[in-house]
Amino acid sequence: MIRTVGSTIAVSVFLWCFAAGGRGQSQQAYKMLQLFEWVGNHYVDTVNLSRLSERMIRKTLQELDPHSVYVSRDEVRTMNERLEGSFEGIGMSCDWLNDTALVVSTVSGGPAEKTGIRRGDRIVVIDGDTVAGKNLKMEHIIKRIRGKKGTKVRLAIFRKGGGELLQFTVTRDRIPDFSVNAAYRVSGKTGYIRLNRFAASSHREFTEALQKLRKEGVVDIILDLTGNGGGYVDMAVQLADEFFDKGRLIVYTEGRNSGRVNYTSLAGGDFRKGKLVVMINENSASASEIFAGAIQDWDRGMIVGRRSFGKGLVQRQMLFADSSALRLTIARYHTPTGRVIQKPYGDGGEYEKEIRNRLQSGELTGETAVKINDSLQFKTLVKGRTVYGGGGIIPDVFVPLDTSYYTDYYKKLLERNILEWFILEYVDKNRSALERKYPDFSKFERDFRVSDAMPDDLRRFALQKGIDGKPEEAERSRERLQVRMKAYIALCLWSDNEFYRIINRQEPIFLKALEVIADLQQNR
C-alpha cells in the first residue's frame, strides 16, 4: 500500500493511462505507478503525493498543446459557475473602499435587493464577525456571503445618513450571472448587444434582448464579441442558428481519433433578414471565432475589428475521483469553408507571447502588417469572397488599435483598479446629489460633464496609491480618462448597460461598426 498524503489523483490518472494506452503506453504508465509506490513507501520523508501528481500532470500536458490542462476541484467549480450562467448567493457586487466592503450593485429582484440592501451600503459584520477595518481580500468576503440556496447570512451594514448599523438576514438563492452585458438601441433601426461569454443562458439572454430591442424599432444588430473568450460551443451554434435558414453548416470538428462531426443550424432563426455586424478583436476566442467564422463564410454579415485570438482546439473533460478534471484536446474546429481556427503553436513559449508579438510587429496598429497566408485562401459560400486561414478570423474591415492615449500612467490606473477606486470614492461622497440631479440615465448622459479638475484629482489620488504619473502622460490620457470616468459613474449609479452606452462613444471598433452597418442599410 502506498503510504502517502492524498493519492487519489495519481492512482486515477495512472489507471486511466493503463486502460487507455496500447501495450507500450501501458508499460510506461505502470512504471510511473511503480515510481509513485516506491516514493510513497521508501522515501525518507512524508510525501504529499496529491501535490506531486498534480505537478506531474500539468508538466505532461504542457508537452501536448496550450489548451490541454489539468483543472483542480475548486477551479472546476468556479468555471462551471461562470458557464452555467448562475451561482448561489444573495445577488450583489462589492468592492473595497477604505478597508470596507462597499456594495457597488445589487441584482434586480435578487435576495439582497428584496431585503433592502442598496448601492453604497458598507458591510461591517458578517454572521457576527467584524470584517470592516481588517486587511482582508475580497475573495474572503465573497466566500462568506455565498452559500447554498435556502441558507441564511446575517449582515450588519452601515448606511450614510443613518445612525446605528442596519441588520439584515438574507436568504441565499440561485442568482443569474448574465452573459449579455448590454443591449440598447443606438439610433434609428440599429441596436447593439454585447456578449461577454457563451454561457448556458446566452441564447435565452440574447433572444430576450433582441425581442426587447425589436419593440423599440430595431431591425439591424451590432453584436459585440470583443474580449469574449468563448465558452460552450453548443451556445455558439444555437446563437448562429438565429441568423440562418435550417441546415446550414456552422462548424465541424475533426481529430486523429475522432471522426468529422458537423454542427448545422436546426431551424430557421428569428433574425435571418436583418443586417448584422460582428465586432471582434485579438481577445475574441474559441466560441466567438466559431460564430464569427460561420457568419463570414456564409456572407451573413460583416466582421469588423482585428484578427481574433486563434483558439480552435476541442477539449473533452474527464473527471477524476476527487472532482478535479483533465481537459484533453481531441480535435480541431473548422469553419464551414474548411478553415482551421487554431493558430500555430510550438516550443519556446511563443504561443503565450503571440498577442504581444502582434503589437510589436505592427499587426494590431496597421492593416498592412496582418499576416496573410496566400496558400490558405478560401472562398465564401455565397458571394465567393476571398478569406484566409492560418489561425483566427481575419475581419472584413480592419480597425487599428488606438494607442494614442495609452501611456504607462493610463495602464497602471486600470491594471491596479486606481481609476475604479477613485470613482467609487467620488460616487460615495456625491451619491445623494447625483441621484437628485440625474434621476434617470438619459438626463445623466445628456447633461453630466466630467470637470477639468477631476483628472487632476485622480492624479493626486493615484500618487497616494504609489503611481506617479508624468504630466505629459496624464495630459495625453486626459480625454480618454474623462470618458471612462463618466462611464464608471454611470456603472455605479445604474448598470453595465449604461457603462457601455458611454464607453462606446470612443471605441474605434464600435464607431467603425456603425459606419459599416449604415452602408449595409443604404444597400438594403
Q: How many CA atoms lie within 13 A of 201 on its CB side?
A: 19
Backbone angles phi, psi at 456, to 5 degrees: -70, -40
| Domain CATH code at residue 232 | 3.90.226.10
Residue after which a domain boundary falls, among 176, 202, 223: 176
Same domain, 265 and 308: yes
Rounded-to-integer distance, Cα 76 and Cα 484, Å: 34
Exposed/middle/buried for residue 299 (C-beta within 10 Å: 0-12, 13-18, 19+):
middle
Same domain, 149 and 296: no
Listed residue (257, 314, 318) closest to 290, CA to CA: 314
Instruction: Return the residue matching grid coordinates 474605434.
Output: 508
Judge whether 71 lies within some domain: no
Same domain, 415 and 463: yes
The domain in which residue 98 lies consists of 86-176
Residue after which a domain boundary falls, among 176, 195, 216: 176
Whether residue 297 lies in the annotated active site: yes
Rounded-to-integer distance, Cα 154 and Cα 520, Å: 55
249: its cell numbers: 453548416
Residue 278: its pLDDT value, please?
98
87: its cell numbers: 451561482
Rounded-to-integer distance, Cα 173 and Cα 89, Å: 6
Instruction: Return the residue matching grid coordinates 491594471.
Output: 415
Cβ contacts of residue 155 below 8 Å, gap of 6+?
A: 117, 123, 125, 126, 145, 167, 168, 169, 170
Judge whether 78 lies within some domain: no
154: its cell numbers: 446575517
Whether residue 265 lies in the annotated active site: no
Residue after which a domain boundary falls, among 176, 208, 238: 176
Backbone angles phi, psi at 14, to 5 degrees: -75, -35
| From 286, 288, 308, 324, the catalytic residue | 286
Give the DSSP letter of residue 231.
B
Same domain, 146 and 287: no
Rounded-to-integer distance, Cα 280 and Cα 397, Å: 10
Judge whether 511 lies within some domain: no
CA dist list (Å): 70 to 58, 326, 350, 456: 6, 5, 21, 47
Helices 49-62 and 23-42: crossing angle in degrees, nearest 10, is 150
Same domain, 142 and 29: no
| Residues comprising the chain, all counted | 524
Rounded-to-integer distance, Cα 13 and Cα 122, Å: 47
Same domain, 262 and 127: no
Q: For the whole prediction, is pTM greater than 0.95? A: no
Same domain, 395 and 423: no
Rounded-to-integer distance, Cα 151 and Cα 88, Å: 10
Q: Split the chain (524 residues) into runs of 10 and give each run's mean pLDDT.
A: 45 49 60 76 79 79 82 78 74 85 87 90 93 85 90 93 88 90 96 95 95 96 97 93 94 91 88 95 96 98 96 85 83 96 77 85 85 86 95 95 93 92 92 95 97 94 91 94 96 94 96 97 85
Same domain, 185 and 313: yes
Rounded-to-integer distance, Cα 245 and Cα 178, Å: 28
| From 189, 275, 311, 343, the catalytic residue | 311
Residue 2: its pLDDT value, please?
41
Judge whether 200 lies within some domain: yes
Residue 223 amino acid letter: L
User: Alpha helix locations (H) across 107-246?
Assistant: 111-115, 138-145, 202-215, 233-241
| From 121, 177, 297, 396, the catalytic residue | 297
Judge whether 387 lies within some domain: yes
Q: Which residues face 94 on adjacent strands?
A: 103
Listed residue (500, 344, 481) closest to 423, CA to CA: 481
Residue 87 amino acid letter: F
Whether residue 288 lies in the annotated active site: no
Q: How many CA atoms lie within 13 A of 81 on its CB side?
A: 15
Judge whether 247 lies within some domain: yes
Same domain, 391 and 414: no
Same domain, 231 and 308: yes
Judge whether 500 lies within some domain: no
Cβ contacts of residue 369 below 8 Å, gap of 6+?
A: 361, 362, 363
Residue 349: its pLDDT value, please?
61
For the chain, what is the domain count? Answer: 4
Residue 241 amino acid letter: D
Same domain, 23 and 154: no
Determine how β-strand 86-89 pairs with β-strand 173-176: antiparallel
Q: What is the Cα gyration radius of the chain? A: 26
Cβ contacts of residue 353 below 8 Å, gap of 6+?
A: none
Judge whether 502 lies within some domain: no
Residue 201 amino acid letter: S
Where do the DSSP E strands lie in 242-301? Answer: 249-255, 258-264, 276-280
Listed residue (39, 14, 19, 18) closest to 27, CA to CA: 18
In the three-class reduction of DSSP (H, G, I as helix; E, B as strand; rest coil), residue 313 is classed as strand
Residue 493 amino acid letter: L
Same domain, 116 and 203: no
